Chains A and B, each alone.
Chain A
């Protein structure tokens, strides 16, 4: 089947192709020559499994993710639903910045709320994404009211501990602040929405997040 390369990321290529007469995306993970072959094979396999599992698991809890059609361990490929006319949250924020929209505007606050809510739902069901960034969240038209669609679950895991959920949020917080300057109000509102959307466990996770912040950022930093 003919394939059109769409993107080449850090660990895989994404192609547009046909699968049983349907227009789909294929995500292929390629061999990393710098890695020890045992380690490489192990990581690749684990990530394909993690991705397929988490994508499906999310859907059973009503969290929007692409449908998984097929997984092929011989070619290290995963066949996914193609989400048409999507826009990453990253580009949506860039677009808003170029339109001179302030980061504390109602449009941005509404975005933060939607992200906070979906992440709360994800964590309430013990799914850890593992690589939350604004590039791994999609919007479909109309963007201003679209649900958040989560993608790229290769680093995901299932875990009940507050620690892993807090680290998940920490990764996102850092990714947003380093990619999009001056987004502190957005992050603050996002975390607040996360907290109010859930039960007491969400509060515990936010408290844990404060501890995680202190650990990496401040504790050991010399040499």
Chain B
């Protein structure tokens, strides 16, 4: 039996998970929530993580009912992410690894999402749509790398949602995206928006500016409601994502799709992707918020696979980085 503990804190969640041979023993998490109209800044986010990390660690150990000596390796997020929160969590990972005399494994956050998605859904070799506050990538595995076939050329889809939620002054609790999704359910009238597909890449900044410039007037004049705008935003943005995912599938000859990342728990996105898959005889794999949204177990799972394939990180190399491409990581644990 191999047991790995994983620590994640690259954005506004601090999560610690414990994985034992593909089984999630514990996966507690805390989210730093800011007032409506505001995003989370690195400094305050780091303070939140520092204040909560030990409590979450304690909770993970007691829920999993394991002692430090039962753990085989400590995994932590090396990047990509915001520097201050990443550092705060890496310090804890380094400390417990040395305190408990365990090997440490530095994990790429995006790889964590992919591997957790594969574990939970059982998808073998899917085309991955990874959509979150900071990332929008269409990924497929080829020759020992998760290769990026399509991605955003400007801002991430979740960032576009977050910022539009700020324009509408929607609550950030539990997340801006969740509140846009709820609001969109009541929307009926479709506002045509800029559609930014460039080959297998997507662009959201033009669409966001278009909405930011017009939203107030459209709502005031009664032409469109807040709900209509959320609805139009989702319909347009998700159509772009489904289209580029389908193009990548056709390009790679793949018939499985895995959606992961925080935006991945949006049910309308899942529904649209499901229809696309149905039309081409493919299979959709998706997970719910407990594993879509950043969590510790995903880092533990990627760390588990890396550790089992013989990867350990030297203590002097346990730094963090804000920029860390998914395709930078040699995937030694897959054929």
- The residues of A that contact B236 with a CB separation of less than 8 Å are 39
Q: Is the CB of B272 within 8 A of A171?
A: no
Contact B135 A181 (CB under 8 A): no
In angstroms, Cα B144 to Cα A181, docked, is 11
Q: A34-B272, A133-B199 are in contact. Are A222 and B251 (CB under 8 A)?
A: no
Contact A223 to B243, CB < 8 A, known contacts A38-B190, A170-B153: no
Neighbouring B residues of A42 by C-beta, 8 Å:
192
- Residues of A78-135 at the interface with B, using a CB-CB cut-off of 8 Å, are 130-133, 135
**Separation of A179 and B149 alpha carbons in the complex (Å):** 8
Residues from 239 to 258 in B contacting A, C-beta threshold 8 Å = 239, 242-243, 246-247, 249-251
A10-B243 CB under 8 A given contacts A178-B147, A181-B142, A222-B80: yes
* B81, B148, B242: the one within 8 Å of A223 (CB): B81
Residue contact B81 to A34, C-beta cutoff 8 Å: no
A167 at the interface (CB under 8 A from B): yes
Rounded to whole Å, the gap between the CB of A87 and the closest CB of chain B is 17
Determine whether the beta carbon of B247 is less than 8 Å from that of A222. Answer: no
Whether B195 is near chain A, meaning CB under 8 Å from some CB there, is yes
Q: Shortest distance in angstroms between A76's beta carbon and chain B's nearest beta carbon?
A: 16
Q: How far is the CA of A140 from the CA of B333 in the complex (A)?
A: 41
B-contact bits for A185-223, CB 8 A (1 contact / 0 none): 000000000000000000000000000100111101111
Cα distance A172–B151 in the bound complex, in angstroms: 13
- In this complex, the member of A170, A181, A212, A221 whose beta carbon has the largest number of chain B beta carbons within 10 angstroms is A221
Residue A59 interfacial (CB < 8 Å): no
Whether B44 sits at the interface, judged by CB under 8 Å, is no
| A200–B198 CA distance with the chains assembled, in angstroms | 25
Report the minimum CB–CB distance from A127 to chain B (whole Å): 15
Query: Which of B284-326 touch A at CB < 8 Å?
Result: 294, 322-325
| Complex alpha-carbon distance, A223 and B293, angstroms | 9
A43: Cβ under 8 A from any B Cβ:
yes
Report if A22 contacts B (CB, 8 A). no
- Decide if B10 touches A223 in the complex (CB within 8 Å): yes
Specify which chain B residues have a CB less than 8 angstroms from the CB of A175 in the assembled complex.
Answer: 149, 199-200
Are B80 and A178 interface neighbours, CB within 8 A? no
In the assembled complex, B155 has its CB within 8 A of some CB on chain A: yes
Q: CA of A206 to CA of B198 in the docked complex: distance in angstroms?
A: 18
Nearest chain B CB to A97 CB, angstrom units: 12
For the complex formed, measure the closest distance between the CB of A132 and the CB atoms of chain B, giving whole angstroms: 7
Chain B residues whose C-beta falls within 8 Å of the C-beta of A32 in the assembled complex: 239, 243, 276, 279
CB distance from B197 to the nearest CB of A (A): 6
B262 within 8 A of A: yes
> Which residue, A8, A39, A43, A133, has most C-beta atoms of chain B within 10 A?
A39
Interfacial residues of chain A within 24-48, with CB under 8 A of chain B in the complex: 32-36, 38-39, 42-43
Please encode chain B, from 57 to 97, with 1 for each CB lying within 8 Å of some chain A CB and 0 for all others: 00000000000000000000001111000000000000000
Q: Give B148-190 as 1s and 0s: 1 = Cβ < 8 Å from A's Cβ atoms.
A: 1111111110110000000000000000000000000000001
A181 closest partner in B (C-beta): B143
* Contact status of A34 and B276, CB under 8 A, knowing A39-B195, A220-B159: yes
Contact A217 B325 (CB under 8 A): yes
Q: Is the CB of A216 within 8 A of B322?
A: no
List A contacts of B27 (CB < 8 A). Answer: none
Chain B residues within an 8 Å CB radius of A179: 251
Contact present for B198 and A167 (CB under 8 Å): yes
Partner of B153, one of A35, A131, A167: A167
A223-B198 contact given A39-B235, A178-B148, CB 8 Å threshold: no
> B85 CB to closest chain A CB, in angstroms?
9
Closest to B293 in A: A223
Q: Which residues of A contact B279 (CB under 8 A)?
A: 32-34
Interchain CB contact under 8 A, B262 and A36: no
Q: A9-B250, A33-B275, A181-B143 are in contact. Are A174 and B201 (CB under 8 A)?
A: yes
Q: When chains A and B are docked, how far (Å) is the Cα of A173 from the Cα of B257?
A: 24
A68 within 8 A of B: no
7 more CB-based (< 8 A) A-B contacts, given A220-B155, A223-B81: A34-B272, A43-B239, A171-B200, A178-B149, A221-B135, A223-B132, A223-B135
Smallest CB-CB A-B distances: 4 pairs: A223-B134, A223-B133, A222-B81, A171-B199
Q: Which residues of B contact A (CB under 8 A)?
A: 10-11, 79-82, 109, 132-135, 140, 142-143, 147-156, 158-159, 190, 192, 195, 197-201, 235-236, 239, 242-243, 246-247, 249-251, 261-262, 271-273, 275-276, 279-280, 294, 322-325
